[in-house]
Chain A
Amino acid sequence: MPLLPSFSGLIGYSELLRTLLRRELRSRYKGSSLGLLWSLVFPLAMMAVYTLVFSVLWRGTRNIPHYPLFVLAGLAVWTFFQSAVLLGTVSLTSGGDLIKKVWFPRELVPASVVLAQTVSAVVILVVLVPLAIYVVPENVRTVALAVPFFAALICLALGLAWMLSVAQVFFRDVEHLLGVLFLPWFFLTPIIYSLDQLPAAASHPTLIHLLRYGNPVTPYVEGIRAVVLEATVPGAPIVVYILLVGPLVALLGLWVVQRYEDRIAIEL
């Protein structure tokens, strides 16, 4: 087994990747009249609820300007991440039919699922970005950075989906374990709050540090929110973190799929 994963499967079978992606999108929104617009419904509904509870009722978000958009930006990242990883994880086990009958590079299956989730994330961003620019015009200058940041986030989700989908083939518990993990993970990620604005932020710097760098999603949430909504570019450590971690995790994930590729069909 070579140390570096091979990209020949992804490149040589790009036609299949596109077709699988179409198939994924098609079956996801088949027969629904709103189609892709459903991707907007959940984040918008959650945005309304969080704003009502934390901003209107609790009045705990006075230090965060444009709280609804703040939440929506966080949700755009989180919803994508969560659904891409969860659906990617089960993609090999639920796509067993195809995998047992024909050979093709196995990494394509989780990849198509993750990319399909990207499409819904883009729908949210298409709504969010013009609103953010309308509210804070300076965002025009930084918003382009959202593209590389988001690309790195896709890599992160892809890498995790690759690794976890293989783990799921061998241990069917992985899916349930993730289901349990994702809710606490959501609350530990600064989506409905800002780490810096927390009342305990000044007195517990180590804890804040741990929450910021120990959770791989946090830099992405903060980084993308900064360039889309706050017209600021995050500090160099955060930028480096964002641009390095995602691609590295993706490489590792691809390596894992290729390492265990031969045993996937037998275990299904």
Chain B
Amino acid sequence: MIRLSHSRSLKEVILHRELPKTRELWALSDVDLDIEPGEAYGIVGKNGSGKSTILKLLARIFAPSTGTLEVGGRVGSLIEIGAGFHPDFTGVENVYLNAAIYGLKRSYVDAHLDEIIAFAELEAFKDAQVRTYSSGMYMRLGFSIAMHVQADVMLLDEVLAVGDKAFQEKCYERIWDFKRSGGTIVFVSHDDGAVARVCDRALLLEEGRMVESGPAEEVICAYHRRLVGAAAERVAARNGAPTGPCRVHEVRAVAGDGSIKERLTEGEPVALEVWLFAEDGLEAGRVTVGIRDSAGRALGSQTVEQVRLRPAQLERLRLNFPGLPMREGRFTVAVAVANGDGTAELASSDPALELNVFSADFQAGGPIRLGGQWELPSGDGAPES
């Protein structure tokens, strides 16, 4: 519980003989969770839902106003990168300072200093004052120290959002190692792809309450459904009820056997089913399916022409993908129906569907699944001379 008060001064206490009126705000309530040793646990939710408060409780920065909390083992936290860095200290001095904050012995830091600096890729800047560092350098140093704390429990808060791609990969690598060696991770992010990558189980928070908990992927799907639900309500409120002679009834992703899929893995065969309804039928329409990423950037579209719809019938179109071309992330599908020459839009639905794609191959990078077939040199052993 966080108490909010407008101001609190001795004067008020003395004059009014009581603490000033406070407004109570429960940052978290009715949260009950058990995280097993060696588990990676994700916490997702919108800004202000209480994610970071949980981490701060686990890190002992706050104490719960009611209820109990037990943490076994040494806790390392990356709640805020570079917390406790002194701007006038050099990189090396800050390593000692930060390590001392985590309760590490000087001898341990002496032994691991080179390793920490090397991981942060700051060999050339280790004797420069950190106020001259870029935010990326700051972050790398903070992460590197935290990863060398030898913690039993690691708390991560949005930290991987900064830093360049290559360093992020290195961090994930390190987090995997930590997990493999039996470490427990609590990971907070609104990048739910990252949570799905790292975590086994997860928790969805909404306004400080537990809404969903269970296997990470399921919780993330539930989170997306809620986000989509809220978005759909907003669209409906803005546009009023859908009208017109032609409409997009439903769009869904289905597997080869026709079952509806909510979770997709990159590269798996999938089809997008578009269900259309035209009161008076349609002679030769064109239907376009477009896909955008979570940032709203259009990734690609497909148009089919000469679509004929029978009047007052639900009709189905299918767009088959032998292998899904996107890598992990959240994507939206939009569908538009136009007349034959494309001069008038008859119906549209945007977003018509949300796709949650999970990655199968962490080694590959980039937004698309490159595909392609390799042909290797035909050498039978000895190189040609």
**Separation of A191 and B165 alpha carbons in the complex (Å):** 64
**Separation of A126 and B130 alpha carbons in the complex (Å):** 35
A173 to chain B: closest residue by CB: B10
Decide if A102 touches B86 in the complex (CB within 8 Å).
no
**Separation of A131 and B56 alpha carbons in the complex (Å):** 54
Q: A15-B106, A262-B62 are in contact. Are A173 and B9 (CB under 8 A)?
A: yes
Interface flag for B60 (CB, 8 Å): yes
Decide if B103 touches A12 in the complex (CB within 8 Å).
yes
Decide if B8 touches A171 in the complex (CB within 8 Å).
yes
Q: A15-B104, A30-B88 are in contact. Are A171 and B61 (CB under 8 A)?
A: no
Interface flag for A263 (CB, 8 Å): yes
Decide if A15 touches B86 in the complex (CB within 8 Å).
no
Q: How far is the CB of B3 from chain A (nearest CB, A)?
A: 8
A31 to chain B: closest residue by CB: B88
Q: Tally of A-B residue pairs with Cβ under 8 A? A: 73
Interface flag for A76 (CB, 8 Å): no
A30 to chain B: closest residue by CB: B88
Q: How far is the CB of B206 from chain A (nearest CB, A)?
A: 22
List, in ascending order, chain B residues with CB within 8 A of A262's CB: 62-63
Decide if A102 touches B62 in the complex (CB within 8 Å).
no
**Separation of A12 and B100 alpha carbons in the complex (Å):** 10
Decide if B62 touches A265 in the complex (CB within 8 Å).
yes
Interface flag for A98 (CB, 8 Å): yes
Q: Which residue in B56, B63, B100 is a CB contact (below 8 Å) of A15?
A: B100
List, in ascending order, chain B residues with CB within 8 A of A185's CB: none
List, in ascending order, chain B residues with CB within 8 A of A103's CB: 59-61, 75, 77
Decide if B89 touches A26 in the complex (CB within 8 Å).
yes
Q: Which residue in A15, A98, A173, A266 is a CB contact (below 8 Å) of B105?
A: A15
B64 to chain A: closest residue by CB: A262
Interface flag for A128 (CB, 8 Å): no
**Separation of A13 and B84 alpha carbons in the complex (Å):** 15
Q: How far is the CB of A22 from chain B (nearest CB, A)?
A: 8
**Separation of A23 and B94 alpha carbons in the complex (Å):** 10
Q: How far is the CB of B4 from chain A (nearest CB, A)?
A: 11
Q: How far is the CB of B1 from chain A (nearest CB, A)?
A: 9
Which residues of chain A in 1-42 are interfacial with respect to chain B, using CB atoms and an 8 Å cutoff? 12-13, 15-16, 18-20, 23, 26-27, 30
Q: A173-B9, A173-B10, A266-B2 are in contact. Are A98 and B100 (CB under 8 A)?
A: no
**Separation of A26 and B88 alpha carbons in the complex (Å):** 9
List, in ascending order, chain A residues with CB within 8 A of B86's CB: 23, 26-27
Decide if A98 touches B106 in the complex (CB within 8 Å).
no
Q: Which residue in A16, A97, A101, A170 is a CB contact (below 8 Å) of B100?
A: A16
Q: A19-B96, A19-B100, A266-B62 are in contact. Are A102 and B79 (CB under 8 A)?
A: yes
Q: How far is the CB of A21 from chain B (nearest CB, A)?
A: 11
Q: How far is the CB of B250 from chain A (nearest CB, A)?
A: 48
Interface flag for A100 (CB, 8 Å): yes
Decide if B100 touches A13 in the complex (CB within 8 Å).
yes
Interface flag for B101 (CB, 8 Å): yes
A23 to chain B: closest residue by CB: B86
Q: How far is the CB of A193 from chain B (nearest CB, A)?
A: 33
A14 to chain B: closest residue by CB: B100
**Separation of A101 and B59 alpha carbons in the complex (Å):** 9
How many chain A residues sit at the interface, stated as a range, is 20 to 34
**Separation of A173 and B56 alpha carbons in the complex (Å):** 28
Interface flag for B35 (CB, 8 Å): no
List, in ascending order, chain B residues with CB within 8 A of A12's CB: 103
Decide if A102 touches B83 in the complex (CB within 8 Å).
yes
Interface flag for A172 (CB, 8 Å): yes
List, in ascending order, chain B residues with CB within 8 A of A266's CB: 2-3, 62
Interface flag for B97 (CB, 8 Å): yes
Decide if A177 touches B83 in the complex (CB within 8 Å).
no
Q: A97-B83, A101-B83, A102-B84 are in contact. Are A23 and B77 (CB under 8 A)?
A: no
List, in ascending order, chain A residues with CB within 8 A of B2's CB: 266
List, in ascending order, chain A residues with CB within 8 A of B23's CB: none
Interface flag for A134 (CB, 8 Å): no
Which residues of chain B in 109-159 are interfacial with respect to chain A, using CB atoms and an 8 Å cutoff? none
Q: Which residue in A13, A18, A23, A171 is a CB contact (below 8 Å) of B103?
A: A13
Decide if B89 touches A172 in the complex (CB within 8 Å).
no
Decide if A172 touches B100 in the complex (CB within 8 Å).
no
Interface flag for B80 (CB, 8 Å): yes
Interface flag for B297 (CB, 8 Å): no
Q: A23-B97, A171-B9 are in contact. Are A98 and B84 (CB under 8 A)?
A: yes
Q: How far is the CB of B248 from chain A (nearest CB, A)?
A: 49
List, in ascending order, chain B residues with CB within 8 A of A177's CB: 10
List, in ascending order, chain A residues with CB within 8 A of B102's CB: 102
Q: A15-B100, A102-B59, A262-B62 are in contact. Are A27 and B88 (CB under 8 A)?
A: yes
List, in ascending order, chain A residues with CB within 8 A of B79's CB: 101-102
Decide if A102 touches B11 in the complex (CB within 8 Å).
no
**Separation of A13 and B104 alpha carbons in the complex (Å):** 8
| B79, B86, B100, B104 pick with most chain A CB within 10 angstroms | B100
List, in ascending order, chain B residues with CB within 8 A of A98's CB: 83-84, 101
Q: How far is the CB of B60 from chain A (nearest CB, A)?
A: 4
Interface flag for A104 (CB, 8 Å): yes
List, in ascending order, chain A residues with CB within 8 A of B61's CB: 99-103, 265
6 closest Cβ pairs, A-B complex: A101-B83, A262-B63, A16-B100, A103-B60, A19-B100, A173-B10
Q: Can you give 22 A-B contacts (C-beta < 8 A)?
A: A12-B103, A15-B103, A16-B103, A23-B97, A26-B86, A27-B88, A97-B84, A98-B101, A100-B61, A101-B83, A101-B84, A102-B59, A102-B79, A102-B83, A103-B75, A103-B77, A104-B103, A170-B8, A172-B8, A172-B9, A173-B11, A265-B61
Contacts A262-B62, A266-B3 known; 8 new A-B pairs at CB < 8 A: A16-B103, A19-B100, A26-B88, A98-B83, A99-B61, A101-B61, A102-B61, A177-B10
